[in-house]
Amino acid sequence: MKKRNFINICLLIIFLLISVLTAFRMLQKIEDCDYRQRGALLINKIEMFRQIKKQLPENVRELGLDEPMDQGPYYKKIDSVNYIVFFNIGFDHEVKIYFSNKKEWENGVLEGETNEARAKKGSG
């Protein structure tokens, strides 16, 4: 009887752990989707600006937006054709970055020149 109770408790603990991990992963996917949607709005504004003015904006104020004071999205012009859009998503400078040259989102660490170099390298 004790062995059966022990097995039932172990199974319950395993089930609870799997449930918590699954819920955590689902929340990460929802958050990732939210970042991409919010970023896409800024990217669309940047690309419209580029089509109309034939250049990239220097900052978001040229798009009629205020610089965000929270997670983002933030915009950084790399050179005359490349830019990044990024979110601060955690401690330790963790970011979600969109590279205009690749047209892809990546997770990474904000390292200043490293991300700029990555953006330039992909466009060459």
56 contacts 46 by C-beta, under 8 angstroms: yes
Provide the token pair at 97: 């970055």
What is the C-alpha separation between 7 and 13, in angstroms, rounded?
Answer: 10
Q: What is the pLDDT of residues 52-66, one digit of tens each?
A: 999 999 999 999 998
Q: What is the mean pLDDT of each run of 10 residues along the chain (124 residues)?
A: 87 94 93 92 96 95 89 92 90 85 88 54 51
Q: What is the pLDDT of residue 115?
A: 52
Burial of 46 (0-12, 13-18, 19+ CB in 10 A): buried
- Give the CA distances from residue 75 to residues 17, 25, 36, 72, in Å, rounded to whole numbers and listed in that order: 39, 28, 14, 9
Q: What local confidence, expressed as pLDDT, does residue 73 receive?
A: 93
Beta strand segments in the chain, E: 74-77, 83-88, 94-99, 104-109
pLDDT of residue 4: 87
pLDDT of residue 86: 92
Q: Which residues contact 120 (CB under 8 A, 6 or more apart)?
A: 78, 79, 82, 101
Q: Which two tokens stand for residue 32?
A: 């990732």
Paired tokens of 16? 């609870």
